[in-house]
Amino acid sequence: MTTTLQETVAYYNNLDPETEKRVDALLAQMTLVEKIGQLVQLNPFAPFDPDDYEAKKREAEEAGAPFEYEPRLRDDMEDLLRGGRIGSFLNVMTPKVINHCQRIAVEESRLGIPLLVGADVIHGYRTIFPIPLAEASTWNPDLLERASRVAAEEASAAGVDWIFAPMVDVSRDPRWGRIAEGAGEDPFLGMAMARARVRGFQTTGLTSGRNVAACPKHYVGYGAAEGGRDYNTVDFSERTLRDVYLPPFKAAFESGAGAVMSSFNELGGLPVTANPSILRTILRDEWQWPGVVLSDYDAVRELIPHGVAANLREAARLSILAGLDIEMVSTAYHDHLADLVTAGEVPEALVDEAVRRVLRLKFRLGLFERPYTDESLHDAVILQPAFRELALETARESMVLLQNEDNILPLSPDVRLTVIGPLADNRADMLGCWSLHNHPEDVETVLEGLSAYLPGDTWSYQPGCPIRDDRTDGSGIETDIPAAVAATREADVVLLVLGESADMSGESHSRTTLGLPGRQQELVDAIAETGKPMVCVLMSGRPLVIPRLAAQVKGLLVAWHAGIRAGRAVADLLFGAANPSGRLTASWPRSEGQIPVYYAHKSTGRPAAESGTRQFAEAFKSVYMDEPNSPLFPFGYGLSYTTFTYANLQIAESMLGPDDTLRVSVTITNSGDRAGAEVVQLYVRDLVACVTRPVRELKGFQKIWLQPGEQRTVSFEVPVRDLGFSGLDMQYTVEPGDFKLWVGPNAVDGLEGAFRVCEA
């Protein structure tokens, strides 16, 4: 527990005596049923009714009006609101509906407690930014903070006061579709991104005049699902929990996050939803964190199929006892909590504690003073030119140049180009896996982006094949590989725009094979036969496994699913109006069999020599017979159109006490002929400790922009207390001893130094 944590949570959660008095006064008036209402979160709409949908669509068409479907409210919704039986909504983003329901809660319920409206705004509300994995690849927390603020601006104008983000799950498994939603494989980078996003969402001064709370998720361990299969079992050591998976959550709380969403998974045999050591011991006893814990979707009911509760009543009891405050969607609290309290199986004091946290958040957000949303704001706030510009800036910075043989990029404007691939003329998939309020018509396609640079007759386009198997794709693209090959005849360069559709990543979209889907590799093979130089723009929601493709193309630009400005950003980078500056935040494996492959692995007792990898070169070492241990592209990796040299590594003091600060500097020179950005990365290794330590750990990074020939000294200051880990007794400790250190452009290269941490 640090003082910072105490101070920030005290501020953000309003532990000031005035608010506490208001909370107490309100709580004292509440019946048990009203209290439980505050712990219930539902979606207010009736199940989707296709007839109703079609009828409303026809009506709009006949009236010539734009069609936006507004589902019907549940029949019982107004009565539930009047009775104080519901405390919050999820995923409603229509100010009219929100205000209607809010009016009932505030004006017609006995105590007038306002509703809290939560929603998934994962990479933008209407201005859709690149998926979070791509956003993290900018290595630019300031940019993420600004992007998150835009998301909060727009969502707040839509009536949302609680954003179910950032997702801060560390993930080292690209099979897991939700790797798209996080910052990648590293806790240190994850902490930086978590802080930036929480700050961005929770900024004050939004146009709506309202406030927004962040909700880091999914607490905790969700990214370590066995086999990368979503919702699957998680089982790792307490040390891994503390050193790898918890830090981004703690960073989010230190930045003031007022709530957290617990995860679906079990951890060591106990689902988190019912896990008191996760929800109480760590959050409350150790960290003294007073924020709200919200379950994930239906997760309380899922305790039944998990096999720890026989029925919904038991599920309710286990969850409230474990420390879960709000139940999302399932109705175990609504149906059974009152009875559990009356029967003496759950102390009412526990319910009070949970309700107190919810009320505190509502006071903190100013909902009692300002419960309604100004319905006239929404259209004026969304998609402002500055927002679209920021989406472009983020998209450009998020893309990662992995290969550039013979400096094939940037392309010259008089190049004759043949564009091939199913993603070149595509809007919907640019929107990524998690954007609820997206509009495909907002998106610029790659072809549209390119047309800004190319005159009409110097290029042609052939899709070649659909993204996935012809039978299941649904895009209407027919496979015609010969036509694609024929189209390359006049080309100087073939530009391939390939990859995954948006729905191949994200929740419940895990994959076991991570190569190019459908017949896209076959398409590339056919084009490769022509001998024309190829550049590939690769779109995906995860690291892909592409050794064959990488060997075939000269230029390889990872564009992810980059949001509404994807097309323009790709074109700006291809033609050199912008210089690639993204760096990978998750390793790209050579094969699925290597997974998990990540840079901060342990040494093992039989480490492979750095160069050697194969069984026969290195008998009885920790290697594969058929493949190197290293990934195809490591964490931190990415190229630029210019080059950077690293020199003059200085360590101010190489003997440090536990309270000292490690001061490191290095001189970076832009040794090429273009302006560009470098991400300077600092890694350390604790050589000998009471428990094994990773072979490298990121401890600092800075993104710097340099003109050609410009030189800059970059300095890092790392408090020695940040070099620790969970010791034998699971207490955080920094041990005296020798460390290695590297400053470099990725997790593999760099200048090397050393320092020692001495006894106090």
Give yes or no for residue 297 binding ligand BGC (CB under 6 A): yes
Nearer to ligand BGC, 164 or 201 (CB): 164
**What is the pattern of x (binds ligand BGC, CB under 6 A) and - over residues 481-520?**
--------------------------x-------------
Nearest to 223 by CA among 206, 202, 248: 248
Rounded-to-integer distance, Cα 117 and Cα 87, Å: 9
Q: How far is the CB of 85 from ligand BGC (least distance, A)?
A: 20
Rounded-to-integer distance, Cα 581 and Cα 702, Å: 12
Nearer to ligand BGC, 261 or 706 (CB): 261
Q: Sign of dihedral through CA atoms 82, 87, 93, 98?
A: positive
User: Given phi > 0 = left and psi -120 to 50 = alpha, else beta, which region is 53?
Assistant: alpha
Nearer to ligand BGC, 52 or 507 (CB): 507
Q: What angle do CA 253, 7, 190 make, to 5 degrees?
A: 25
Contacts of 171 (CB under 8 A, 6+ apart): 178, 179, 182, 184, 185, 223, 224, 586
Q: How far is the CB of 509 from ligand BGC (least distance, A)?
A: 12
Pick one of 89, 125, 139, 164: the residue that binds ligand BGC (CB under 6 A): 164
**What is the pattern of x (binds ligand BGC, CB under 6 A) and - over residues 344-373?**
------------------------------
Contacts of 480 (CB under 8 A, 6+ apart): 462, 463, 464, 465
Q: How far is the CB of 507 from ligand BGC (least distance, A)?
A: 6
Instruction: Decide: helix, strand or coil at residue 419.
Output: strand
Which residue type does 661 have? T
Give yes or no for residue 217 binding ligand BGC (CB under 6 A): yes
Q: How far is the CB of 296 from ligand BGC (least distance, A)?
A: 5
Contacts of 668 (CB under 8 A, 6+ apart): 644, 645, 646, 678, 680, 704, 706, 711, 712, 713, 714
CA 287 to chain centre: 24
Give yes or no for residue 716 binding ligand BGC (CB under 6 A): no
Rounded-to-integer distance, Cα 146 and Cα 333, Å: 38
Nearer to ligand BGC, 35 or 306 (CB): 306
Nearer to ligand BGC, 162 or 716 (CB): 162
Bridging pattern class, strands 737-744 and 676-686: antiparallel
CB 535 within 8 Å of CB 528: no
* Cis amide bond preceding 220, omega within 30: yes
Q: How far is the CB of 294 from ligand BGC (least distance, A)?
A: 9
Q: How far is the CB of 120 from ligand BGC (least distance, A)?
A: 5
Q: What angle do CA 94, 507, 599 make, to 5 degrees?
A: 130
Nearest to 203 by CA among 146, 128, 157: 146
Q: How far is the CB of 297 from ligand BGC (least distance, A)?
A: 4
Give yes or no for residue 296 binding ligand BGC (CB under 6 A): yes
Indicate which residue of 186, 243, 296, 325 is catalytic: 296
Q: What angle do CA 335, 340, 342 make, to 5 degrees?
A: 110
Give yes or no for residue 254 binding ligand BGC (CB under 6 A): no
Nearest to 326 by CA among 360, 369, 372: 360
Nearer to ligand BGC, 229 or 721 (CB): 229
User: What are the tokens at 416?
Assistant: 């004759």
296 catalytic per annotation: yes
Nearer to ligand BGC, 90 or 365 (CB): 90
Q: How far is the CB of 217 from ligand BGC (least distance, A)?
A: 6
Q: How far is the CB of 435 from ligand BGC (least distance, A)?
A: 12
Rounded-to-integer distance, Cα 162 and Cα 325, Å: 15
Give yes or no for residue 438 binding ligand BGC (CB under 6 A): no
Nearer to ligand BGC, 126 or 217 (CB): 217
**What is the pattern of x (binds ligand BGC, CB under 6 A) and - over residues 75-104?**
---------------xx-------------
Residue list 606-645, contact with ligand BGC (CB under 6 A): none
Nearer to ligand BGC, 164 or 575 (CB): 164
Give yes or no for residue 600 binding ligand BGC (CB under 6 A): no
Q: How far is the CB of 671 from ligand BGC (least distance, A)?
A: 44
**What is the pattern of x (binds ligand BGC, CB under 6 A) and - over residues 119-138?**
-x------------------
Can you state the angle between helices 141-157 and 385-398, rounded to 10 degrees? 140
Rounded-to-integer distance, Cα 633 and Cα 400, Å: 11
Which residue type does 195 have? R
Q: What angle do CA 531, 533, 535 make, to 5 degrees?
A: 135
Which residue type does 331 have? T
Q: How far is the CB of 591 from ligand BGC (least distance, A)?
A: 29
Nearer to ligand BGC, 93 or 411 (CB): 93
Rounded-to-integer distance, Cα 534 and Cα 526, Å: 12
Give yes or no for residue 176 binding ligand BGC (CB under 6 A): no
Residue 265 exposure: Cα atoms within 13 Å on the Cβ side: 23
* Cis amide bond preceding 410, omega within 30: yes
Size of the site for ligand BGC (CB under 6 A): 8
Nearer to ligand BGC, 164 or 253 (CB): 164
Q: Tell me the catalytic residues.
A: 296
Which residues are at the interface with ligand BGC (CB under 6 A)?
Answer: 90-91, 120, 164, 217, 296-297, 507
